[in-house]
Amino acid sequence: MKFQYPENLRFTCLKCGLCCGDTRRRKRHILLLRIEVERISALKGRQISDFAKKVWHKFPYVFEMTKSRESGKCVFLKDNECTIYSERPIICRFYPFEMRELETGTLVFRHTDECPGIGKGDLLFADYFHKLFKLASTSAKIEGRFA
């Protein structure tokens, strides 16, 4: 598998909560895999309908996280702290990166500059992006996306 990833890029999570909800420029869709909603439900002892709504045409994602009406942030964000951090969704684990597959089969990792943690912290190397790919492919296998 061939990868393209940002070189000479530093990143650290500043725990600012920006990625956990809507901003003036962007409405966030925190998409969830079936296994993720099941794990969160078990962890928090809550019904899935209490924190997520069903979505269609977003496979392998089948749910979207509910956000607070007041703040526009994820319902599990309290005082800028994720209360489901150990079971946070893959989409949260990836942020501020996304992975796209080109027609050639090359996987391209991109990032958003809106994240204030970009340019700070440790320099990222290929192994960081390989770990993200492994996480994505493991989740996709669990969801039945690949045989």
pLDDT in tens, 30-69: 999 999 999 999 999 999 999 999 999 988 899 999 999 8
108 in Cβ contact with 102 (< 8 Å):
yes
The pLDDT, as a whole number, for residue 14 is 93
pLDDT (tens digit, 9 = 90+) per residue, 65-77? 999 988 899 999 9
**In terms of Cα–Cα distance, which of 81, 113, 120 is closest to 97?**
113
Q: What is the mean pLDDT of the chain?
A: 91
- Could you tell me if 71 and 21 are in contact, meaning their C-beta atoms sit under 8 angstroms apart? yes
Q: Report pTM.
A: 0.86
Q: How far apart are CA 71 and CA 21, in angstroms?
A: 8
141, pLDDT greater than 80: no
